Amino acid sequence: MSRKNKIIYVSILAFNCLFSLILLIFNVSNNTTSLKTTFLFISILIGLAVLLFVKTESEETIIEESNDEETEKIITEKTKNEFVDWIAFISVVVSVFLIITSFFFFSARVDGTSMEPTIKENKHVYIFTFGYTAKKEDVVVYKRTSDLIIKRVAAVEGDKLSIKEEDSMMYLYINDQLYTNHYGEKYQLRLNDELRKTINSNNNNYVLKKYEVILLGDNESRSSDSRSFGVLSTKRIIGRALGDYSGKE
Q: Give the model confidence (pLDDT) of 22-49 as tens digits.
A: 655 555 455 555 555 555 565 556 655 5
- Given a cut of 50, whether residue 157 has pLDDT beyond it is yes
Sequence-distant (6+) residues with CB within 8 A of 190 are: 170, 196, 227
CATH of 106-241, one of 3.40.109.40, 2.10.109.10, 3.40.50.300, 3.40.50.150: 2.10.109.10
Distance CA 91, CA 143 (A): 31
Catalytic residues: 114, 151
Q: What ranges do the domains of the chain cover?
A: 3-103, 106-241
Provide the H-helix boundaries in the chain: 3-25, 32-64, 71-103, 194-200, 226-229
pLDDT at position 34? 54
Distance CA 92, CA 89 (A): 5
Nearest CA among 221, 211, 40, 45 for reference residue 133: 211
Burial 51-72 (b: 16+ CB within 10 A, else e): ebbeebeebbeeeeeeeeeeee
Q: Give the model confidence (pLDDT) of 172-203 as tens digits.
A: 999 999 999 989 999 999 989 999 999 999 99
How far is CA 200 from each of CA 16, 40, 154, 194, 195, rounded to the nearest angstrom? Answer: 50, 48, 19, 10, 9
The answer to whether the CB of 161 falls within 8 A of the CB of 195 is: yes
Sequence-distant (6+) residues with CB within 8 A of 107 are: 124, 125, 126, 127
Sequence-distant (6+) residues with CB within 8 A of 148 are: 108, 141, 142, 238
- Model confidence band, residue 108 (pLDDT cutoffs 50, 70, 90): confident
Mean pLDDT of 167-171: 92
pLDDT at position 244? 81
Looking at the DSSP bridge assignments, the partners of residue 173 are 162, 178
